[in-house]
Amino acid sequence: MRVLENKRVAFLATDGVEEIEYTEPREAVEKAGAMVELLSPKPGQIQAVQGMDKSKTYPVERPVKQASPDDYDALVIPGGVANPDKLRMDPDSVRFVRAMFDAGKPVAAICHGPWMLVEADVVDGRTVTSYPSLKRDLTNAGAQWVDEQVHVDRGLVTSRKPDDLPAFCDKVIEEIAEGIHRR
């Protein structure tokens, strides 16, 4: 199934990314035919984690400050507690997320990844899910929070945790295949 042939997908992550929340969605969209690039504010490589323990490192394919939203059809933001907490302190990462959202391109975030959506100021009036500890942050930013395996709101795909990855990956592929969404 190559439904994402000729699609380019950016994954935005840095040190502290939850490994399976990066590797499993990346593998799924690549198997569906997409070309994927790992963007990060940090050049070289990033340190993934499994829970709180260091895992493998992954090569950064492009610094986010050199990435143009025009070059991508979609964005995926993996979780891990430290990953989005560090990313939301990087103005280039926040601008990239906002620009992808403003362009109507599919944006997906899992677990703690929706913190980036709060920082980019794109959740007001949206229905989203996330790791439960982000509920107050998301509702304070104007979102309606739901406790669901995966939720889609006009091209914005959110999910709660690694156990939800199969449903998350399916919806990510579906939304990327659909293309631009009116926000």
Catalytic residues, which ones?
A: 111-112
Nearest to 49 by CA among 78, 15, 23, 12: 15
**Burial of 83: CB neighbours in 10 Å, binned 0-12, 13-18, 19+:** buried
Instruction: Find the farthest-apart pair of alpha carbons in the chain and give their distance in angstroms, rounded.
Output: 40
Structure tokens at 71: 């070059």
110: amino acid identity, one letter: I
Q: Which two tokens stand for residue 14?
A: 């840095």
